[in-house]
Amino acid sequence: MNSFLSLIPRFAEAILVTLEVSLLAAFIGALGGFALNALRLRFPRWLAGPYRVYVWLVRGTPYLSQLVIVYFGLPVIGITMTAVQATIVSLAFYSAAYFAEIFRAGWASIPRGHMEAARAFGISRWSAFRSIEMPQAIAFAIPLLANQTILVIKESAVASIITVPELTMTASDIVASTYTYIAPYAMLIVCYWLLTQCIAVAARWAQALITPSRKTS
Amino acid sequence: MSSLPILELRAVGKSYGANRVLKGIDLAVTRGEIVSLIGPSGSGKTTALRCMNFLEAYDEGEVWIKGQLLGYRSAGRSERDRDSEKSVAEVRRPVSMVFQQFNLWPHMTVLGNVAAPLVLSKKTTKADAHKQALAALTRVGLAGKADAYPTSLSGGQQQRVGIARALAIEPEVMLLDEPTSALDPELVEEVLSVIRSLAQDGMTMVMVTHEMSFAAKISDHVVFMEAGQIVEAGPPEQIFGNTRTPRLQQFLKPWFDRSLTSVAGVA
């Protein structure tokens, strides 16, 4: 038990790295996905092709390969990043495809009649996007967004390969230097579990906040 | 009194690919008039109605609202330039609509739904919009539900909210697309009575309906459509009492039989 507790300081540092990398990546990825979906809605014709190719490429290849291309491949064309930067960039690029699909589903969940009513009442496309589509689409998407964020947190473990001092890297280090497996991996599990639980709780809270109370007055 | 039509359709046609669903519809609606469109399913009534506010882009003929061409930059039959969304919105501004499926926005309260067109499209202050919305809700007897959400209401109440929303923008013409078709039979009457009271106040309305008795009583002009064409049109006395075309007679027969039975039942 003592050996387990003595791991806390190192894991506390590592959990902050994982948190920083994955939340930044998920945030940028979600913004990117939102923008992609908004563009797809606005310019359906010429954007449909590139959009599909992007989603197809990102979803069809392992994240590890994308990380490797960003970290080891981009320097070839003169773009050099630190390991943390490369992780954030690649993870954002990777998750944006999934986030875009989530927003697409959110928009697809809105009945056609809602937008027809908006048009019939002279509400501009932009106002309708903001005030009629977005609140409904986001409410629909919250559980999926939370789910994707959790996946991003867990996927960030791959960054241990390029020596980002995040949770998985820390656990591997301790294993390598102490030859004990149980305590560091138990701690690793607890840390990831804590992070993902925080996301789940935040999502539940956000859902409650934006879902109107169904008064039956 | 000027009898210039407030809404006019001239040879309006519409095709989906090779399927021509509207084949030259002519209709003039003057202020205060109530026009009912009747006919079998698939006859093009709803499409015709949706062309009147350009929810459906017609591709032949012209729709004029208060002397302005709707949807296109110029009249005529050949290739035409579509008007910008903004100008279409400007021309259709005097026209409001009530939908068969209500199409209320579920994330807004009842008051929010009725006020939204005012808040989002016009330069009204929120306070004024809410005042106007509340007045419209009072008009349909639902001021008490202002803070409720649409999903907590019955179908009839939801449609009355839909009517209030259409009223709040102070329209000069209301388009009603089968306003009672999605309702349980016992909820139809509350909606019809609201429409009746609007009629008494002189609201101009164009209504697609399957409620024959209602159309017979309330309308100034009835249009019977089939296969994208107007087969017979005239005052309700002619359409329901002195039918000229055999096809309309055949269409109305079930309704005649039913009303005769009910009259016989009372007597």
Q: Which residue of B has its CA nearest to A211?
A: B107
Q: Is the pTM of this model over 0.95?
A: no
Contact A121 B103 (CB under 8 A): no
As given in the structure block, the two tokens for residue B98 are 């009530």
Q: What is the DSSP letter of A70?
A: I
Helix (H/G/I), strand (E/B), else coil: B23? strand
Residue B103 has pLDDT above 60, yes or no: yes
d(CA B97, CA B223): 19
Residue B267 has pLDDT above 80, yes or no: no
Helices (H), chain B: 45-51, 85-92, 110-121, 126-139, 155-168, 185-200, 212-218, 236, 246-266
Shortest distance between the Cα of B147 and any Cα of chain A, in A, equals 8
Which secondary structure element, helix H or strand E, spans residue B11, and what is its range?
strand B7-16
Residue B264 has pLDDT above 70, yes or no: no
* Residues of A engaging B, defined by a Cβ cutoff of 8 Å: 111, 113-114, 116-125, 127-128, 131-132, 135-136, 139, 212, 214-217
Residue B265 has pLDDT above 60, yes or no: no
What backbone torsions phi and psi does residue B144 show, to the nearest 5 degrees? -70, -15
Q: What is the DSSP letter of A213?
A: P
Nearest-5° angle of CA A185, CA A191, CA A196?
A: 125
Q: How confident is the model at residue B74 (pLDDT cuts 50, 70, 90)?
A: confident
Of B105, B148, B149, the CB nearest to A132: B105
Per-residue model confidence (pLDDT) at position B261: 72
Contact A122 B55 (CB under 8 A): no
Contact B97 A117 (CB under 8 A): yes
As given in the structure block, the two tokens for residue A143 are 């559980």
Contact B121 A111 (CB under 8 A): no
Per-residue model confidence (pLDDT) at position A210: 80
Which secondary structure element, helix H or strand E, spans residue B63, and what is its range?
strand B60-65
Helix (H/G/I), strand (E/B), else coil: A80? coil
d(CA B28, CA A78): 70
In chain B, what are the helix, strand and coil shares in percent, each to the nearest 5? 40, 25, 35
Q: What is the mean pLDDT of residues B21-42?
A: 96
Per-residue model confidence (pLDDT) at position B35: 98
Contact B101 A113 (CB under 8 A): yes
pLDDT tens string A140-155: 999 999 999 999 999 9
Residue with tokens 């309702």: B183
Helix (H/G/I), strand (E/B), else coil: B207? strand
Cβ-based contacts of B124 with chain A (< 8 Å): none
Q: Which residue of B has its CA nearest to A131?
A: B120
As given in the structure block, the two tokens for residue A30 are 């979600």
- ipTM, 2 decimals? 0.89
Which secondary structure element, helix H or strand E, spans residue A89, and what is its range?
helix A83-108
As given in the structure block, the two tokens for residue A43 are 């310019």
Shortest distance between the Cα of A127 and any Cα of chain B, in A, equals 6
**Measured between CB atoms, does B159 come within 8 Å of chain A?**
no
Per-residue model confidence (pLDDT) at position B263: 58
d(CA B176, CA B83): 24
Contact B165 A124 (CB under 8 A): no
Per-residue model confidence (pLDDT) at position A2: 72
Q: Which residue of B has its CA nearest to A138?
A: B107
Per-residue model confidence (pLDDT) at position B215: 95
d(CA B267, CA B253): 21
**Measured between CB atoms, does B30 come within 8 Å of chain A?**
no
Contact B147 A217 (CB under 8 A): yes
The answer to whether residues A15 and A153 touch, using CB atoms and an 8 Å cutoff, is: no
Contact B55 A136 (CB under 8 A): no
Q: How confident is the model at residue B262 (pLDDT cuts 50, 70, 90)?
A: low
Per-residue model confidence (pLDDT) at position A42: 84
Contact A122 B121 (CB under 8 A): yes
pLDDT tens string A41-62: 888 788 888 999 999 999 999 9
CA B247 to chain centre: 24
Cβ-based contacts of B164 with chain A (< 8 Å): none
Residue B184 has pLDDT above 50, yes or no: yes
Per-residue model confidence (pLDDT) at position B266: 47
Which residues, other chains included, contact B82 with Cβ-Cβ below 8 Å and sequence gap of 6+? B57, B71, B72, B73
DSSP line for A21-56: HHHHHHHHHHHHHHHHHHHHHHSHHHHHHHHHHHHH
Cβ-based contacts of B51 with chain A (< 8 Å): none
Shortest distance between the Cα of B144 and any Cα of chain A, in A, equals 8
Mean pLDDT across chain B: 92
pLDDT tens string B107-163: 999 999 999 999 997 668 899 999 999 999 999 999 999 999 999 999 999 999 999
Shortest distance between the Cα of B262 and any Cα of chain A, in A, equals 37
Contact A117 B85 (CB under 8 A): no
- SS3 string of B81-97? CECCHHHHHHHHCCEEE
**Measured between CB atoms, does B135 come within 8 Å of chain A?**
no
pLDDT tens string B200-239: 999 999 999 999 999 999 999 999 999 999 999 999 999 9
pLDDT beneath 70: ranges in chain A:
1, 212-217
Per-residue model confidence (pLDDT) at position A5: 84
